[in-house]
Structure 1
Amino acid sequence: MKIELGKYIEQGVDWLSANAGGFFDAITAGVDAVVTAMQFVLLNSPFWLTIIILALLSYYLPARGKLFTKAGWKAGGGMLIFTVLGLLLLYFMGYWEETMLTIALILASALIALIIGIPLGIYAARNDGAEKIIRPILDFMQTMPAFVYLIPAIILFSVGNVPGVVATIIFALPPAVRLTNLGIRNVPEDVVEASKAFGSTKRQLLFKVQLPLAMTTILAGVNQVIMLSLSMVVIASMVGAGGLGQAVYKGILKADIGLGFEAGVGIVVLAIILDRITQNLGFGPSKPKE
């Protein structure tokens, strides 16, 4: 006897497509509005202004706010130079628009994933029963091959940026939930007990004690969400998502080594910049040693 699990999943997706069309149309409109707004801002900003902003972020965060000093330059100067040169390389290779589209898709996917994932992680940290249910679901989401998410996304959201963003959100969501849950659970129990002894409510305990102490771990989750979004955005080009991933996909289809390599270099540059910026989010404004 053969269990046709795939057949039942397909029937379920078809039922959702036929009976919940309005719901998915609303999701499509909302996601498309977010992506379009980000693309509008990025594509209509002068390229030099975008480079300056990203370069300053890449310098300021590793330097931990210590601007224009020997210690600050030692910590963040190399990343500033790499950011400027890397983005200028993309601009003069003619991939600026694709780069901005990729950033818009990453930011939209990561933003929505964090809006869903951080509250879910807080709920899991405060409810052991929910955590036991959520954990295997996250395991399933992380181990399922990324390409599989594209199939129901096409059926429910057609083709274009929206199914790519939806698939990216599903793929990038688990680290936000896991690390938020981990960060809150790792807050020292004596600190929690002391807060309760001084009369803190559950809301005060969460926002004034647990979240601040867990922030470094939560921001590590932000970094992971952004990096997973970047990796999935490239795969999402197969369902019509734009950006550098689409250039890579065209290079594969045409066996064009030059096109694929140039777009690949763009993705590497973008990945390094985003990774270095978000890696340093959780360290605060502490001063480096002179």
Structure 2
Amino acid sequence: MDWFFKFPHMDDDALRNLKKLIDESFRAFTRAYGDAIEGFFYPLQTFLIYSERLMTKTPWPIITLVVLTIAWGASRNWKIVAGCLFSLLAIGYFDMWDDTMRTISMIFVCTILSIAIGIPIGIMLSRSDRLQRVVNPVLDVMQTMPSFVYLIPVVMLLGIGKVPGLIAVVIYAIPPMIRLTNLGIRLVDKDVLEAADAFGSSSWQKLVWVQLPLALPTIMAGINQCIMMALAMVVIASMIGVQGLGQPVLKAIANQYFTLGIFNGLAIVGIAIIFDRVSQSYGQRLQKHREIVHG
């Protein structure tokens, strides 16, 4: 009756040999192709370094003015602008400005990458039900897998540093971008598409001038979710050398520095609220404009 109480499993030696085979195969792959993969991501590393340098070397009044201008342009709401100003001043006053700028530069690069990769994949999914059925389970796995797991293969391939952390963050953050791009294009009114066909629009013209503009509010929601998930990954990515607000939080956890953890955690919350409110307000404005245009 042992089988009834204890689940039957693979023999210990066989399981050990299987794990050893997989580990050795991955190490061999890393030794053979690690340098080539690292070279492939060199432009990404350069982009990240220049972005971080721009954010940290630019005087704080200019950064603040740019953020407030973007907040006003996106939301047209003085309360959101005032909230952004208060958050930035509090971050600077408590000496977290440089770490915050590093985190924002990381989020900026991650978002650009997620948009550049996610929107084309979302467009392809919207055009093929078969491809959507294949890709959806992959996206489900990406969204449910513990974020720590992403760090293991990336670190083994590329080591410790900014680029491995960036790749892990992008993998974690990109599924909402793909899903909501696909959803937004699929929700475009069929009558509008038929009208575009009646005017002789090509598939490319229909995509660029009809589908993407009408799907933009939903795509903006995807960008919003992408930014939030990237911020959620910041502390975890700090374990492999990603600089920013995550490292002080990690240090606070390791050494029981209560105030250090709370202050930097609140700074992450502050920039999360800024990104969330600004992107949501812009998406809502786009939605209202769409409703006005279509009656």
Is TM (by shorter chain) over 0.5? yes
Corresponding residue number in structure 1 for 2:70: 57
Q: Partners of 1:7 and 1:124 in 2: how far apart?
A: 37
Letter in 2 for 1:200: S
Corresponding residue number in structure 1 for 2:54: 41
Letter in 2 for 1:47: W
Letter in 1 for 2:48: V
Say which SS state the counterpart of residue 233 (structure 2) adopts: helix
Corresponding residue number in structure 1 for 2:127: 126
Q: Does 1:24 align with 2:25?
A: no
How far is 1:25 from its partner? 1.1
Q: Which runs of 4+ in 1 moved over 6 A?
A: none
Deviation readout 1:52-105 (Å, 9 max, x if unpaired): 111222233221xxxxxxxxxxxx222222211211111121111000000011
How far is 1:11 from its partner? 4.7
Change (3 A) 1:216 1:203: same
Q: Partners of 1:103 and 1:211 in 2: how far apart?
A: 27
Q: Partners of 2:22 and 2:109 in 1: how far apart?
A: 28
Letter in 1 for 2:230: S
Residues 45 and 163, structure 2, Cα contact 8 Å, conserved in 1: yes
Q: Partners of 1:26 and 1:205 in 2: how far apart?
A: 38
CA RMSD of aligned residues (A): 1.8
Change (3 A) 1:192 1:8: farther
Q: Partners of 2:279 and 2:112 in 1: how far apart?
A: 13
Say which SS state the counterpart of residue 20 (structure 1) adopts: helix
Q: What TM-score, normalized to structure 1?
A: 0.89
Corresponding residue number in structure 2 for 1:111: 112
How far is 1:204 from its partner? 0.9
Identical pairs, percent = 39
Deviation readout 1:28-53 (Å, 9 max, x if unpaired): 31221111111111111110111111
Q: Partners of 2:117 and 2:70 in 1: how far apart?
A: 26
Total equivalences in the alignment: 274
Corresponding residue number in structure 2 for 1:90: 91
How far is 1:281 from its partner? 2.7
Q: Partners of 2:36 and 2:198 in 1: how far apart?
A: 46
- For structure 2, the residue ranges without an aligned partner over 5 or more in a row are 1-8, 290-295
Letter in 2 for 1:279: Q
Residues 185 and 215, structure 2, Cα contact 8 Å, conserved in 1: yes
Indicate the structure whose relative CO is greater, using CA pairs within 8 Å and at least 6 residues apart: 1
Say which SS state the counterpart of residue 39 (structure 2) adopts: helix
Change (3 A) 1:83 1:156: same
How far is 1:111 from its partner? 1.0
Corresponding residue number in structure 2 for 1:221: 222
Q: Partners of 2:19 and 2:135 in 1: how far apart?
A: 23
Q: Partners of 1:94 and 1:148 in 2: how far apart?
A: 32
Residues 34 and 158, structure 2, Cα contact 8 Å, conserved in 1: no
Q: Partners of 1:10 and 1:140 in 2: how far apart?
A: 21
How far is 1:114 from its partner? 1.3
- For structure 1, the residue ranges without an aligned partner over 5 or more in a row are 64-75
How far is 1:12 from its partner? 5.1
Residues 28 and 157, structure 1, Cα contact 8 Å, conserved in 2: no
- Which moved further from structure 2: 114-123 or 193-202? 193-202
Residues 115 and 223, structure 2, Cα contact 8 Å, conserved in 1: yes
Residues 236 and 245, structure 1, Cα contact 8 Å, conserved in 2: yes
Q: What TM-score, normalized to structure 2?
A: 0.88
- Which moved further from structure 2: 187-196 or 19-28? 19-28
Computing the radius of gyration from Cα coordinates, the structure with the larger value is 2
